[in-house]
Chains A and B, each alone.
Chain A
Amino acid sequence: MNKNLISIRDTSTEDIDLIIKTALSFKEVLGRDIKKVPTLRGKTAVNLFFEPSTRTKTSFELAQKRLSTDVINFTVPTSSVVKGESLFDTIRTIEAYGVDFIIIRHASSGVPYLVSRFARASIINAGDGINEHPTQALLDAFTIIEKKGAIAGLKIAIIGDIFHSRVAKSNIYCLTRLGAKVRLIAPKTFLPKGIENEDVEIYNDLNMGISGVDVIMVLRIQKERQGSGFFSTPEEYFRFWGLTRKKMAAAAPDVIVMHPGPMNRGIEIASSVADSEHSVIYDQVLNGLAIRMAVLYLLSGARP
């Protein structure tokens, strides 16, 4: 394993497999009565979130606590960032404490990469701009493997705002690498230029796109995109690209439905789907914890 986890694009398939395999053993730990292990006792992690986040930060923090890591949370409103400190000065200040892991979320793409070039600590990307969100893709892959046995050969549809979604980008790189047949379903405005160069099929029509798929990943639609020309109204979006039970009937009978959260019910997903037996959304949450434990563990230099 590398010292850092910056992007799926730069992570080898072997390492992806290793992380997922390691997560499996940590999931077993999470099923015990006593869920805490002493594995990373004495290590320190800083969760450095320049963007608001509830679930990813909670997941990292709990993963760190389960591994007995000391945790510091550093979020923008309470930090000196608002005082005009430069990003790199912030990192250097945190590094001066001698921390082992820095988990970074930032609105600008590339920040974890730029930080990793000079930081001594292991850098974990918790989402950068519209670039990547590698631990989300890993937990999604882990969940699919758990439900379907394997990824190779599966038809997987990703629906929604691919353009702004770091979750989608990391998933595209991860799932295509693991042998899935990935379909992107979105209005043309939500498809970034050049994405057709990845090993994906592109559909503007949801009904065609989800025909026969084994997995559906629904992306969150940010309402603020409305008005900037990416789509018209939430109502229209829901009619054409919202996932309903009726539309889902075209998928494989045992299709699973995933969502990185938080969901906008009635915009990208109908409640009847979100709450159905096909939904694995809460499995994703627990698996996220296992994946983040595995990542912390492996980046610390340990071998399973």
Chain B
Amino acid sequence: MDIILKNGHIVDPSSGLDSIGHVVIQGGKIKKITALPHELQNELQISPQTQVIDAEGLYVFPGFVDMHVHLRDPGYTHKETIASGSQAGVKGGFTTLCCMPNTNPPNDNETITRYIVQKGLSEGACNVWPIGAITKRQEGKELSEMGIMKDSGCVAFSDDGHTVTNSLVMRRALEYSMVFDVPIISHAEDIWLAEGGVMNEGRLSTLLGLNGIPAEAEVIMIKRDIELAALTGGRLHIAHVSTAGGVKAIREAKSIGINVTAETTPHYLHITEDCVDGYNTLAKVNPPLRGKKDVEAIRDALRDGTIDCIATDHAPHHMDDKECEFDMAAFGISGLETALALGLRLVEEGVLSLSALIEKMTVKPSNILKLGKGTLKEGAEADIIVVDINRDFTVDMESLVSKGKNTPFHGWHLKGICVLTIVGGQMRYNQLGGSL
């Protein structure tokens, strides 16, 4: 079905567009964006069946691209499935999800890659692209078949959840991946420094009697990987940056031209280790929530471009994995359904302009993975969201669409709701005029 989104405030950082206009969608693609009423009339004459949606007073953005999610399929479908995760995605304004390989079995071969791609096509509410494992079984030893897996649909490679501890293997991965022009995503954690840790190391970890993970566990591995990127020229992307020290290392690397990009997540931009007080397992995440200075540094880095983009690291868990001893609780935060509003809060707090925020959730991650997504340029796949940035709501973990109800933002009052999500010209989520 062809669609015209009329009178919305269109923000498309990929083309610099930031004005009221109309989006014409035909054949699943963006045919044109225009501000001229008579052009709309022309389009309606050409295609009289076109559904016209009035987006007056609303914003129109490219659909968000999340380059770091966990969809748990295969193997942990009690935590999430490709269907439930992508439904959470389209509710949250995401039209493309790239899922990490720490499934069971892990996505370290063509068969699993094809399984995920196929399930994405058949059950997914949005585009689902897998990220393959760097090494077989994510053991950090033997390289996986990156070329074959790329041909089957993998858009990047990562042993996320595990660090490639062996520097030689990481070097080879960066070198080998260059052949196929795919980025290597680093889960930067010195596993020995972090050993046994369940929260940020500092005064609070001592007061709670919990084993701490020092910031240096992240910083050291970021620095190592930067050196290896410099050595090899490979495309290095640092996942979920959480520390001021990590930011500093990435900033220095970029300033001397090393090929490195980085992401952070909404939780490292908004909350600190203080959320762990009271042994709150919902705030248990890896890397751990850090201190106020780290949050400030992450925000500065997002503003100045040191950190390229926002990803959610959506890590859904069953409540049985959270309602238990803090030591035993699973790491992770269910993030797809709060990222938009938490992003808009950064705009409200003056950290980013609206267009800068949208850029970091659309075209920036898309460019890192060379997906060609996150844009409203003519001819692009029509992945579009309509957002009411003023509508407020209270985060209620029970009302999350994701199977993972594990959010430390439960009870937060936030502003900004996605009211319509179009994926490839299809309306996949529609709350226009409806009640939530």
B-binding residues in A (CB < 8 A): 9, 86-88, 106-111, 113-114, 128-132, 166, 169, 192-195, 197
Which residues in window 185-203 of B have CB below 8 A to A?
Answer: 201-203
Please state if B209 and A128 are interface contacts (CB–CB under 8 Å): yes
- A271: min CB distance to chain B, Å: 32
Which residues on the A side are within 8 Å of B279 (C-beta)?
A: 109-110, 113-114
Please state if A108 and B207 are interface contacts (CB–CB under 8 Å): no
The chain B residue sitting closest to A50, CB to CB, is B325
Which residues on the B side are within 8 Å of A109 (C-beta)?
A: 208-210, 279, 326-327
- A192: min CB distance to chain B, Å: 4
A197 to B210, CA, bound (A): 17
Interface size class of B (residues with CB under 8 A): 20 to 34
Which of B214, B320, B326 is in CB contact (< 8 Å) with A108?
B326
Which residues on the A side are within 8 Å of B320 (C-beta)?
A: 86
B328 within 8 A of A: yes
- Jot down 12 A-B pairs with beta carbons below 8 A, ordered by A: A86-B324, A88-B323, A106-B325, A108-B325, A109-B210, A109-B279, A114-B326, A129-B209, A129-B327, A169-B206, A193-B205, A194-B205
The chain B residue sitting closest to A7, CB to CB, is B209
Which residues on the B side are within 8 Å of A195 (C-beta)?
A: 206
Which of A9, A87, A114, A166 is in CB contact (< 8 Å) with B207?
A9
Which residues in window 236-290 of B have CB below 8 A to A?
Answer: 278-279
- B410: min CB distance to chain A, Å: 16
Which residues on the A side are within 8 Å of B101 (C-beta)?
A: none
Please state if A197 and B328 are interface contacts (CB–CB under 8 Å): no
- A164: min CB distance to chain B, Å: 10
A132 to B209, CA, bound (A): 7
The proximity string for B residues 202-231 relative to A, scoring 1 for CB distances below 8 Å and 0 otherwise, is: 111111111110100000000000000000
Contacts A86-B324, A88-B323, A88-B324 known; A110 to B209 CB distance under 8 Å?
yes
- A160: min CB distance to chain B, Å: 16
Contacts A193-B201, A193-B212 known; A110 to B326 CB distance under 8 Å?
yes
A194 to B295, CA, bound (A): 19
Which residues on the A side are within 8 Å of B210 (C-beta)?
A: 109-110, 129-131
Please state if B325 and A87 are interface contacts (CB–CB under 8 Å): yes
Please state if B206 and A114 are interface contacts (CB–CB under 8 Å): no
Which residues on the B side are within 8 Å of A9 (C-beta)?
A: 207
Interface pairs A-B: 9 shortest CB-CB: A131-B209, A194-B203, A110-B279, A109-B209, A108-B325, A108-B327, A192-B206, A194-B206, A130-B209
Which residues on the A side are within 8 Å of B326 (C-beta)?
A: 108-110, 114
Which residues on the A side are within 8 Å of B327 (C-beta)?
A: 107-109, 129
The chain A residue sitting closest to B327, CB to CB, is A108
Which residues on the A side are within 8 Å of B325 (C-beta)?
A: 87, 106, 108, 110-111, 114
- B328: min CB distance to chain A, Å: 7
A154 to B203, CA, bound (A): 26
Please state if B202 and A194 are interface contacts (CB–CB under 8 Å): yes
A146 to B328, CA, bound (A): 41
Please state if A193 and B206 are interface contacts (CB–CB under 8 Å): yes
Which residues on the B side are within 8 Å of A192 (C-beta)?
A: 205-206
Which of B204, B209, B211, B324 is in CB contact (< 8 Å) with A166?
B209
Which residues on the B side are within 8 Å of A130 (C-beta)?
A: 209-211
- B406: min CB distance to chain A, Å: 16
A195 to B278, CA, bound (A): 19
Contacts A87-B324, A108-B325 known; A131 to B203 CB distance under 8 Å?
no
Q: A86-B324, A110-B325, A194-B206 are in contact. List 8 more A-B contacts (CB 8 A).
A: A88-B323, A108-B328, A109-B209, A129-B209, A129-B210, A131-B209, A193-B205, A194-B202
A86 to B319, CA, bound (A): 12
Which residues on the B side are within 8 Å of A87 (C-beta)?
A: 324-325
The chain A residue sitting closest to B207, CB to CB, is A9
Which residues on the B side are within 8 Å of A111 (C-beta)?
A: 325
| Central interface residue in B214, B320, B327, by most chain A CB within 10 Å | B327
Which residues in window 106-151 of B have CB below 8 A to A?
Answer: none
- A241: min CB distance to chain B, Å: 20
- A177: min CB distance to chain B, Å: 14
Please state if A113 and B278 are interface contacts (CB–CB under 8 Å): yes
Please state if B205 and A110 are interface contacts (CB–CB under 8 Å): no
A131 to B205, CA, bound (A): 9
Which residues on the B side are within 8 Å of A107 (C-beta)?
A: 327
Please state if A193 and B209 are interface contacts (CB–CB under 8 Å): no
- A163: min CB distance to chain B, Å: 9
Please state if B209 and A197 are interface contacts (CB–CB under 8 Å): no
A140 to B328, CA, bound (A): 31
Which of A106, A108, A166, A197 is in CB contact (< 8 Å) with B203?
A197
The chain B residue sitting closest to A130, CB to CB, is B209
The chain B residue sitting closest to A195, CB to CB, is B206
- B304: min CB distance to chain A, Å: 30
A113 to B327, CA, bound (A): 13
The chain A residue sitting closest to B326, CB to CB, is A110
